[in-house]
Structure 1
Amino acid sequence: MSLKSFGAKIFAKNIRKKIDKWASKPEATQKKVFQELIDKAKDTKFGKDHDFKNIKSYADFSKKVPVRDYEELRFYVDKMVAGEEDVLWPGKPLYYAKTSGTTSGAKYIPLTKDSMPSHINAARNAILCYIAETGNAKFVDGKMIFLQGSPEMEEKNGVKLGRLSGIVAHYVPSYLQKNRMPSWETNCIDDWETKVDAIVEETRNENMSVISGIPSWVQMYFEKLQQKTGKKVGELFPNFDLFIYGGVNYEPYRSKFENLIGRKVDSIELYPASEGFFAFQDKQTEKGMLLQLDSGMFYEFIKADEFFDENPKRLTVGEVEMGVNYVMLVSSNAGLWAYNIGDTVQFTSTNPYRVMVSGRIKHFISAFGEHVIAKEVEEAMQEATAATKARISEFTVAPQITPKNEELPYHEWFIEFEKEPEDLAKFSKTLDESLQKQNSYYFDLIEGKILQPLKISRVPENGFQQYMKSIGKLGGQNKLPRLANDRKIAEVLEKIIKA
């Protein structure tokens, strides 16, 4: 055992104890965070506008501070970006994480001196929890790759801005710098396909032990490795035994990954976003990710099916239930207040509080009142691939409201198969029945002959990559919506299928 791995084990045990301490007192921990946030921001413009000096309780806060998304908070963000200080949080931000919004154009999410450590420490702690649980620390001696955005940054009125993953790249601890790949120069390549080719060349002969990134883009890296070398990833990297991912559910990709690697590897799920690093998988044996209650973020939750009501009830962690779909709100030491991040989550445990991401509040299918969410289509896909030994590269779902020949409407599943199912009819039937089991509204619509069972449209090899490239979102932190309530994506995929 190397000195580095020995030290990692000791460090891991200490961090695990600290995590267990706050996780065992969730409501007290959140109450402390809440009070610190209000006290520190009371003299900011936002704090004065919302009478923070007279907020003595969460009840006061929920009355004085309405739920907002980026567009509704933009009045304050624009002032910060223009160079004003003490707007949402004391002083100026350290950075802006620049993201692309669908309605807002470019979004500038503030990262502050107070919030930045939580982005760094959460990723570190996820790995340390894995070491504490499994005793496996040998990977710290190998090379680690993080498929991420460019670390190059711009500047706006004295504040640097860039992609979150690129900003975080500047904070890699010195003891990992020698292990970290790809090189700085390669990381700065903008064109994703060129970048992945360069990463393949840099890493193919290295001792890779940890690989991290969004599954769909890591898959592209694995495929290119295999094409270049003719070897399985696990054969090429015999010491590769930990995959770290976030952004999308790994389960639909798992069987294809294991085929590309040639064996199973452990995985750790992360829940990072520009707005905060919300959760990470702290146990290999438990479902869900540990909600970060002690990281300068105060959480609220609204039941997803009540979210668009006039005055939906806002809940704190002590009031949530397992298995319910919630929209998650966050107030943070980055200066976000009752901010709707757009994600929906479900609690898999309340002792401690663990969550799984179930979808996006704007990404669902409810063309007929069925309100199908991402979690449901992903679970249906897992059942169908397991039942028919199929492997998929990617998929998305859209409603077909006006089919030809007076057919009943249906859900259309666009699927790129890496391995076709043994029986496509069985695959389709399993998908549909699984969705009916999970969603009673969908079941009623099928039973009542309002909808016919789903239909599958095969997308050709690399078809989804073509789609992402066509909208300028190939690679990086960009993710394909798992489902939509319109046919904007479907219409582009139809052209790719016919080409």
Structure 2
Amino acid sequence: PWFDRVKTGEANVLWPGRPLYLAKTSGTTSGAKYIPLTPASIGNHINGAKDALLHYVAATGRSRFLDGKLIFLSGSPELEQVGGIPTGRLSGIVNHHVPAYLRRNQLPSYATNCLEDWETKLEAIVGETLGQEMTLISGIPPWVQMYFDRLTARTGRPVGEVFPQFDLFVSGGVSMAPYLGRLRESIGRPVDTIELFPASEGFLAFQDQPGNPGLLLRLDSGIFFEFVPAERFHEPHPPRLTIAEVELGRQYAVVLSSNAGLWAYSLGDTVRFVDLAPHRVVVTGRLRHFLSAFGEHVIGEEVEAALREAVRQYPEAEVTEFTVAPLVSETESQPSRHQWLVEFARPPRDAAAFAAVLDGTLRQLNAYYDDLRSGHILAPLQLAPLPAGAFQRYMKSVGKLGGQHKVPRLSNDRALAAGLLGVG
């Protein structure tokens, strides 16, 4: 009810005055949410990206990217009015606050950025950027990969040759790790990378040290962090730990209070601390994106690690996208199992052996899954290769193609799997 009152334009509900904006956010299967951005909190979003870039310059001494063209693959900057408050996707809102020293080199054009159809927009972006001296490219990895694919299809060359000055890729929204191999192959040469942890609720962390996967928490940017041990999150009154009480290696659900008017707000993301001085985290998944249809409680970090190991052992394999769902047996003679729906850019030479590595690695990472496998409650996982473009066709079919939309890594039902198999 508090957010509903804010949406009507009522002032002084969660924070003094009225929000500057409402950030509209939704998952692949959930309804829309409207997150307030106040005059006090907007700087958190603007300064987060700036801090990440300045840390990169300080750590590497490289600032040439500021002299070339920059592209931020984002949602439309056109805003609607909800309760008299400008409302839109966070990336579109932030587009109105790009600093002047970056805006002069920013692509695509405002008109192109306002295109709603993602495929039309992508073609226009390719047309605008070809021939430009691109130095920085930023966006959610799967949608950047689509951009790279279109560039290569248009030119017949890797992205690193199309843009010889391109030397910095900035990623956010989902973990970069599952996509990094194919992105690097599309580029064709090494480039530096920065990983970010942005959300509509706040810009939470960024990679401050090249080569260190830990993301530096922004503890001085208008957000008070609390952390709930992930395994206790669903208790009636779980403990909420301050930053001084967290431990290395444990999974925590993120709870935050902020000058946007959010109070003890569950972000929905889980993190694991990899450093305590300063505090750095890796994002391990989503509270609602886990697989525990059989009591195994597999999380996103575990399936991504299993996939990395399988690709390491079968380096010819290239994965475009994947998700994991339960496959419940309809007969007593055949145990249930996990089904991995994987779209390969290049398949492994031995799909059965690839699946065995996935299964074996997941057993090593998750004791509950191993117990279910040892007890023959679950059969070895099933690898279900999908045809090229299956994930894009599915996301388009549900109106979630492009922009800031993300594919859930894990599901506890067959809805996503059925949709993918239906469009495949």
- Pair in the same fold by TM > 0.5: yes
Q: Which structure: greater helix fraction?
A: 1
Q: Does 1:344 align with 2:270?
A: yes
Name 2:338's counterpart in structure 1: 411
Task: Map 1:9-408 to 2 at 5 A.
Answer: 75-100=1-26, 105-389=31-315, 390-403=317-330, 406-408=333-335
Q: Distance in 2 between matches of 1:251 and 1:427?
A: 18
Q: Distance in 2 between matches of 1:294 and 1:262?
A: 38
Kindly state the Cα deviation for residue 133 of structure 1 after the two structures are TM-superposed: 0.5
Which amino acid is 2:419 matched to?
V
Q: Structure 1 residues 328 and 280, CA, compared in 2 at 3 Å: closer, same or farther? A: same
TM-score by length of 2: 0.98
Which amino acid is 1:363 matched to?
H
Name 1:463's counterpart in structure 2: 390
Which amino acid is 2:294 matched to?
F
What SS does the corresponding residue of 1:171 show, helix, strand or coil? coil
Q: Distance in 1 between matches of 2:314 and 2:20?
A: 51
Determine if contact 2:28/2:408 at 8 Å carries over to the other structure: no
Which runs of 5 or more structure 1 residues have no equivalent in the other structure?
1-74
Q: Distance in 2 between matches of 1:403 and 1:473?
A: 32
Q: Distance in 2 between matches of 1:286 and 1:235?
A: 27
Identity of aligned residues (%): 55
Task: Map 1:418-497 to 2 at 5 A.
Answer: 418-497=345-424
Kindly state the Cα deviation for residue 403 of structure 1 after the two structures are TM-superposed: 4.8
Determine if contact 2:65/2:135 at 8 Å carries over to the other structure: yes
Kindly state the Cα deviation for residue 102 of structure 1 after the two structures are TM-superposed: 7.2
Q: Structure 1 residues 164 and 314, CA, compared in 2 at 3 Å: closer, same or farther? A: same
- CA RMSD, 1 decimal: 1.2
What SS does the corresponding residue of 2:410 show, helix, strand or coil? coil
Structure number with greater Rg is: 1
- Ranges of 4+ aligned residues in structure 1 off by more than 4 Å: 101-104
The Cα offsets for residues 49-92 of structure 1, whole Å up to 9 and x where unpaired, read as xxxxxxxxxxxxxxxxxxxxxxxxxx111112212111100011
Q: Distance in 1 between matches of 2:30 and 2:336?
A: 33
Which amino acid is 1:270 matched to?
L
Which amino acid is 1:417 matched to?
F
Q: Distance in 2 between matches of 1:89 and 1:473?
A: 32
What SS does the corresponding residue of 1:366 show, helix, strand or coil? coil
The Cα offsets for residues 191-238 of structure 1, whole Å up to 9 and x where unpaired, read as 000000000000011111100000000000000111111111000001
Which runs of 5 or more structure 2 residues have no equivalent in the other structure?
none
Determine if contact 2:336/2:378 at 8 Å carries over to the other structure: yes
Kindly state the Cα deviation for residue 258 of structure 1 after the two structures are TM-superposed: 1.2
What SS does the corresponding residue of 2:74 show, helix, strand or coil? coil
TM-score by length of 1: 0.83
How many pairs does the alignment contain?
A: 423
Q: Structure 1 residues 230 and 108, CA, compared in 2 at 3 Å: closer, same or farther? A: same
